[in-house]
């Protein structure tokens, strides 16, 4: 139910709403960056949680504010005025701040509830459920917007999906209240800067922080502009975008549980390494589609959906594995804050460069190269650098990358009609 809210208030739907309000490329980048800037508040959330031990209460109250504040945007598409974009940015900022406070409690809460021996499989099952909800919400939202657009009532479509998002978010909170809180732990020692900075002085965890900073910077350069590219340059309808997102989510549904089992068997390091190198290629694929020739996006949806399913599971597990249980909230918040700030800076840089390069329209055969293509290329190079950093991380809790490569190779060969 929470996924319905997240889908309908983000991605192509948020970008479409912003473009309808007259947003520039820099403002698109700003909207993509705001949720990650808000992650700095995780340190405050971690402090409150460790002081009180009330993970569940803080998570539920913060998420209530984060999601129900969107009711304020309900009339926004139906009125006129340049001030509307300012209101959208302000509400998104407040929502992101509250959501960040809630996330600080939620991650620690879930980490306490799920036994480590089954964490990979459980999160794989959970991610499959989230992907299923993503498919349903994306297809429904796209159909609603296109229906109102054809009826020349486009603004009412955005108001409709905002209403649905808020109602489902309320339902999610009602269900969350029924989940047990688990052990309530408090840090008895005085909470100080030493406590906050502790994750940055632990060799392994400091290396993880560096990896996540580089990786999120690489993503942030281009992340906000894939949806804008689909809407403005590829001339895709919301239904077409929904089908693309649903295809990737369907692959995630199919592979989340297998990836979870592989993580439980081999560890997170080999999985996140293989997926990172594969994901580094994804932005380059976006150089090929053009209006009326979108077939390559079907391949990209399957390819990226499969890799992100494994990467996200491993990226969730790895920081938990290397953070001490008694001070886990601070450690996980350190990763979220630093990587969030990196994504924020990169997204702003992407918006600045996109506007700077707005004049670019280079003809390359049948394709027209525009500013977004350059951002995709930069992101791909930075992702590759991040993948090499992940490869260099020594994970004593996992088997080596060659072991999982051999496992995949054996699995493929067993299904081929040839001898080993």
**Mean pLDDT (whole number) for 50-72:** 86
Record the tokens describing residue 26, joined without a space: 């820099």
Quote the DSSP letter at residue 363: E
- CA dist., res. 321 & res. 323, Å (int): 6
- CA dist., res. 113 & res. 181, Å (int): 8
Return the CATH class of domain 2-181+196-414. mainly alpha
- Asked if pLDDT for residue 410 goes beyond 90, the answer is no
Q: 3-state DSSP call for residue 286?
A: coil
113-149: pLDDT as tens digits: 888 778 777 877 887 888 889 889 999 999 999 999 8
- Whole-number pLDDT of residue 254: 86
- Whole-number pLDDT of residue 45: 73
Highest mean pLDDT among 95-99, 276-280, 291-295, 397-401: 276-280
* Mean pLDDT over each residue of the chain, to the nearest integer: 86
Quote the DSSP letter at residue 72: G
- Whole-number pLDDT of residue 382: 97
How much of the chain exceeds pLDDT 70, in percent? Answer: 92
**Mean pLDDT (whole number) for 317-326:** 79
List 363's β-bridge partners, or say none. Answer: 368
Would you list the domain boundaries of the chain? 2-181+196-414
- CA dist., res. 237 & res. 160, Å (int): 17
| Residue-wise DSSP of 200-211 | GGSHHHHHHHHH
185-201: pLDDT as tens digits: 555 555 566 767 778 87
- CA angle, 17 as apex, 15 and 20 as ends, to 5°? 110
- CA dist., res. 336 & res. 212, Å (int): 9
Quote the DSSP letter at residue 327: G
- Whole-number pLDDT of residue 184: 60
Indicate if the alpha-carbon torsion angle 161, 38, 195, 342 is positive or negative.
Answer: positive
Q: With contact defined as beta carbons under 8 Å apart, do 304 and 376 qualify?
A: no
């Amino acid at each position: 139910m929470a996924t319905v809210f997240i889908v309908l208030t983000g991605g192509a739907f948020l970008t479409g709403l912003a473009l309808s309000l007259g947003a520039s490329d820099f403002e698109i980048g700003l909207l993509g960056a705001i949720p990650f800037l808000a992650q700095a508040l995780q340190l405050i959330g971690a402090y409150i949680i460790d002081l009180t031990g009330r993970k569940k209460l803080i998570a539920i109250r913060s998420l209530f504010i984060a999601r129900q504040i969107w009711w304020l945007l309900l009339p926004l598409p139906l009125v006129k005025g340049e001030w509307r974009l300012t209101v959208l940015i302000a509400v998104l900022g407040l929502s992101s701040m509250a959501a960040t406070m809630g996330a600080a409690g939620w991650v620690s809460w879930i980490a306490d509830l799920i036994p480590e021996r089954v964490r990979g499989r459980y999160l794989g099952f959970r991610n499959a459920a989230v992907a299923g909800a993503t498919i349903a919400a994306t297809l429904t939202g796209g159909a609603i917007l296109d229906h109102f657009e054809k009826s020349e009532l486009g603004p009412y479509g955005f108001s409709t999906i905002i209403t649905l998002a808020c109602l489902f978010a309320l339902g999610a909170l009602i269900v969350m209240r029924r989940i047990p809180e688990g052990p309530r732990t408090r840090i008895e020692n005085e909470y100080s800067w030493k406590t906050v900075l502790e994750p940055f002085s632990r060799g392994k965890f400091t290396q993880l922080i560096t990896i996540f900073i580089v990786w999120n910077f690489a993503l942030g350069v281009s992340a906000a502009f894939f949806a804008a590219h689909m809407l403005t340059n590829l001339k895709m309808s919301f239904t077409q975008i929904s089908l693309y997102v649903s295809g990737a989510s369907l692959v995630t549904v199919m592979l989340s549980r297998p990836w979870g089992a592989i993580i439980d068997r081999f560890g997170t390091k080999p999985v996140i390494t293989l997926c990172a190198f594969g994901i580094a290629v994804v932005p380059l694929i976006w150089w090929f589609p053009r209006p009326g020739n979108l077939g390559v996006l079907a391949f990209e949806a399957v390819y990226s959906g499969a890799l992100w399913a494994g990467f996200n599971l491993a990226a969730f597990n790895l920081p938990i594995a290397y953070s001490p249980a008694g001070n886990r909230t601070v450690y996980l918040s350190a990763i979220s804050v630093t990587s969030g700030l990196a994504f924020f800076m990169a997204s702003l840089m992407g918006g600045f460069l996109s506007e700077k390069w707005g004049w670019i329209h280079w003809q390359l055969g049948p394709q027209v190269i525009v500013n977004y293509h350059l951002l995709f290329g930069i992101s791909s190079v930075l992702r590759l650098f991040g993948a090499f950093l992940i490869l260099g991380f020594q994970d004593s809790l996992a088997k080596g990358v060659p072991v999982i490569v051999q496992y995949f190779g054996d699995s493929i060969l067993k299904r081929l009609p040839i001898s080993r």
